[in-house]
Homo-oligomer: A and B are copies of this chain.
Amino acid sequence: MTQQMRDSRAPSAKDPSVKDVAAAAGVSLGTVSNVLNRPSTVSAATRQRVERAMSELGFVRNESARQLRAGRSRALAYVMLDGGNPFFHDVAAGIEPAAEAAGLSLFVCNSDGRADREARHLDLLVQQRVQGILLTPVDPDAPHLAEISRRGIPLVMVGRSNRAGDRCSVTVDDVSGGRIAAEHLVDRGHRRIAFVGGPDSIGQVRDRLRGAREIWAEYGRLAEDLIHLPTEALTVGEGRAAGERLAGLPSRRRPTAAFCANDLLALGLLQHAVSVGLRVPDDLAIIGYDDIDFAAAAAVPLTSVRQPRRELGRTAARLVLDEAADPGHRHEEAAFAPVLVARASTGTIRSHAG
């Protein structure tokens, strides 16, 4: 027996508009608008009559019309680099309340590391006339970004600034982060370490490696004792694969610690280590980057270099809103310092005999 829907609305009925409300309440269209936007200018009696009509008709403002009239949408957008990495969702979670406080919606898009997808998303966002765009870019110097700025749309880079520095950005110093991580390993007595990460096209990866190398040199270690294990992506699977290669090294070349370019790699590496019976940190110390929630939640809690993810989002939102509101806006580069969060995965101090 088929369920008979007694639907209170014919499927094709169209939404009531301000005009319908005005008619129902016996007032002019402008008055309805006043009730919506400047209720204090409307007498109490009329206001109530209009409000009653609204709820009876089930009136809902049409956002498209508002936007058309206003000339721009009431939305912000964040285009993230990797939807599979919780780090970016946490950045987004930092943006959201700021957007909400400003009465704006937030579009969240994922470029998935692909320039074409990024471009497509940006295209759509420009069509939407969003008030501002936050972006963790595939390539911070790509020409289509300049195009956005030229249109006058506020654009804030998150996690990477462009070469020219002619726009706002919110960054965490990755070279410094690399130094912190490497120094932590040096402090723990490690004399041969690996850097796990790639591809090189990602600026963050390059910088983190650079920082590590700096420290390594400053402590007088040999360059060849910092082994770069390149990966094709920053994923758990690649981390596992790197573990295989690590295990394949002849034992005198095998590092006692690994610095991974992000936490996903570190988790993959950790998993591989555990699966082949290596003890972490005793046989292999591991340090990640980003300090996503799952780093702390790992079975061997992961030492990591924390980026203030929510703060990053919050600040970026502040900058983009400022640029959208203030014609005299000066571009600003907000830089945060990464901090080491030491946990069990690098726990013990190694003896010199190590």
Contacts and interface: CB of A to CB of B under 8 A. Distances in A.
Contact of A299 (B7, B71, B298): B298
A274 B293 contact: no
A86 interface: yes
A62 B127 contact: yes
Contacts of A108: 108
A7 B152 CA distance: 10
Given A60-B126, A83-B93, A294-B267, A14 B274 contact: no
B71 A68 contact: no
B8 A236 contact: no
A9 B151 contact: yes
A302 to B, nearest CB: 10
Interface in A115-131: 124, 126-129
A281 to B, nearest CB: 12
Given A67-B64, A127-B62, A293 B9 contact: no
A52 interface: no
Nearest to A72: B64
A30 interface: no
Contacts of A105: 107, 124
A338 interface: no
Nearest to A93: B83
A300 B327 contact: no
A344 B150 CA distance: 55
A270 B294 contact: no
Nearest to A328: B11
Interface string A45-88: 00000000000001011111101100101000000000110100
Given A89-B83, A298-B299, A152 B9 contact: yes
A15 B126 CA distance: 11
Given A61-B127, A166-B3, A299 B297 contact: no
Nearest to A8: B150
A290 B62 CA distance: 38
B293 A271 contact: no
Given A267-B294, A268-B297, A298-B298, A127 B63 contact: yes
Given A13-B152, A127-B63, A84 B271 contact: no
A236 B297 contact: yes
A150 B61 CA distance: 16
B152 A11 contact: yes
A8 to B, nearest CB: 6
A9 B71 CA distance: 17
A301 interface: yes
Interface of A: 3, 5, 7-9, 11-15, 58, 60-65, 67-68, 71, 73, 83-84, 86, 89, 93, 96, 105, 107-108, 110, 124, 126-129, 150-152, 165-166, 236, 267-268, 270-271, 274-275, 280, 293-294, 296-301, 327, 344
11 contacts: A5-B166, A8-B150, A58-B151, A62-B68, A63-B73, A68-B68, A83-B93, A236-B296, A267-B294, A275-B301, A275-B344
